[in-house]
Structure 1
Amino acid sequence: MNQRYAVLRPGIQWAISWVLALLLPAMLALASATAAAQTPAKAATAPAAARAVLVMGDSLSAGYGLSASQGWVALTADRIARTKPGWRVVNASISGETTAGGAARIDGELHRNKPAVVVIELGANDGLRGLPLSQTRANLDRMIRSAKASGAKVLLIGMRMPPNMGRDYTQGFADNFNALAKQHGVALLPFLLEPIATDRNAFQADNLHPVASVQPKLRDHVWTALAPLLR
């Protein structure tokens, strides 16, 4: 018995080697095909990054006293998401922000977000504090220059001061926005609160910040100047 198997063993080994030699290429090809099927195909081209609208504002844009989804900036972001594919909104507004704060932050925000459009809604807190008009203008000028240098379009949103600030100050304050828009050739919305300014019920108890129910009016007002820039 043992002698018989001893004689057959070399033949069996040769046969096994021969079969393996025939099957190995097929096995390797099958393994390669399986691995390829399990590897996600790379996209032919990476999707283009969404162009950003950067909003640099104060509490009127930050949505003071409102939920995150109620402010005019959030409502604008929703509209852009529905009607302007390839665009997004970055709200870098801070309650209490002055033009000095905006001027100090603008370069970092531009570098971080690389916006195609920059909306500047600042100055109200300067005016309410009675800061020098020349200082406010210089800060806004710096922000506009930085935004334009980055290649972004600019929408400057103006504000008005109450008459108790004095005629010269209130007029000079409004003139700042007009003059800067003309100087730099940028889009201007002269007065953010124009649609609601004379309606006391449109404001919270502080008589400064709009309530949630009028935010769609502000969104639509801003949209008249913003939409042409999203082309």
Structure 2
Amino acid sequence: MKASRLARCTRLSLNGGSLAILQWLAACSAAPGDGAQPGNAAVAAEAPAPQAGAGGAVAPVAADARLVVAFGDSLYAGYGVTQTESFPARLQAALAEAGVKAVVHNAGVSGDTSAAGRQRLGFVLDGLPRRPDLVIVGLGGNDMLRGLSPDETRANLTAILDELKQRGIPAMLTGMVAAPNMGPDYVAAFNPIYPQLARQYGVPLYPFFLDGVVTDEKLMQADRIHPTAAGIDRVTARIAPLVRQALAR
């Protein structure tokens, strides 16, 4: 998405200033009965350009180390922070602190929709030194921001999970929920995507990537879309235990 389009979308969400956006985000919730946690906020994981290092060369992987791929958009790529502060880097550090030797490859690209992720998945996987032990998929925020059809989002995420399954690669999802101002029909169609796919494919799900972070302005960048380094640490602390469990399967 071009910067001008992003600015218009952001102004729509930020109408009324910082307090309004926090109230708007806090009001977002997943559809009842779908396994997502109440109070999860919707966020547009959009940024103007890919970040340095996103989807680049994989660090050397020792024979006794696990290879994890963080495959997503700007929330994974590390928009607005250094690469050492990005989610993949902090996840690798958290796993090491827990005694799990792993390389977490940053395959996040800012601005990616689920369709863009679907198109590049094979290229990313084929460029790895070996089959990964886990691929964490975090896409769909930009679909929601652009008002793309939830059916398209579901189809693209399904294709991604199908390819991972066909290649024998374990997967994990980090989810998203739609903003209420998208309308009840959109919310009802979008929100169940992640919990339903998680059940269908038997993969772990973290219902909302920025849960517990997005409503705390101290943990968010000025755009109120992307987390600060401290926010990423908070997110990582919540997701790392699920990743450890997935790697132990």
Normalised by the shorter chain, which TM-score bucket?
A: 0.7 to 0.9
**Residue identity in the other structure for 1:205:** A
Over residues 82-140 of structure 1, what are the superposed CA-to-partner deviations in whole Å (9 max), with x where a residue is unaligned?
44454211111000011011101111222222211010000000000000011000000
Rate the CA distance shift 1:201–1:166 in 2: closer, same or farther, 3 A. Answer: farther
Report the counterpart of residue 156 of structure 1 in structure 2: 173
Q: How many residues align?
A: 185
Q: For 2:179 and 2:217, how far apart are their aligned partners in 1?
A: 14
**Residue identity in the other structure for 2:201:** H
Normalising by structure 2, we get a TM-score of 0.70
Choose the corresponding residue for 2:145, options 116, 124, 128.
128
Choose the corresponding residue for 2:79, options 58, 61, 64.
64
Q: For 1:138 and 1:164, how far apart are their aligned partners in 2?
A: 23
Report the counterpart of residue 24 of structure 1 in structure 2: none
The answer as to whether partners of 1:51 and 1:115 remain within 8 angstroms in 2 is yes
Higher relative contact order, structure no. (Cα contacts within 8 Å, ≥ 6 residues apart): 2
Q: For 1:122 and 1:169, how far apart are their aligned partners in 2?
A: 17
Q: What pairs with 1:1-231 in structure 2 (closer than 5 Å)?
A: 48=63, 50-113=65-128, 114-231=131-248
Normalising by structure 1, we get a TM-score of 0.75
How far is 1:197 from its partner?
2.8
Q: For 1:73 and 1:105, how far apart are their aligned partners in 2?
A: 18
How far is 1:217 from its partner?
0.7
Sequence identity (%): 37
Q: For 2:116 and 2:202, how far apart are their aligned partners in 1?
A: 23
The answer as to whether partners of 1:158 and 1:177 remain within 8 angstroms in 2 is yes
How far is 1:199 from its partner?
2.0
Q: For 1:166 and 1:97, how far apart are their aligned partners in 2?
A: 23
Report the counterpart of residue 26 of structure 1 in structure 2: none
**More displaced 10-residue stretch of structure 1: 178-187 or 200-209:** 200-209
Rate the CA distance shift 1:84–1:117 in 2: closer, same or farther, 3 A. Answer: farther
Over residues 160-208 of structure 1, what are the superposed CA-to-partner deviations in whole Å (9 max), with x where a residue is unaligned?
2222111221232120111111111111111111111322332212111
**Residue identity in the other structure for 2:93:** D
The answer as to whether partners of 1:99 and 1:122 remain within 8 angstroms in 2 is yes
Report the counterpart of residue 19 of structure 2 in structure 1: none
More helix by share: 1
The higher radius of gyration belongs to 1
Q: For 1:197 and 1:92, how far apart are their aligned partners in 2?
A: 23
Rate the CA distance shift 1:84–1:112 in 2: closer, same or farther, 3 A. Answer: farther
**Residue identity in the other structure for 1:78:** A
Q: For 2:103 and 2:218, how far apart are their aligned partners in 1?
A: 32
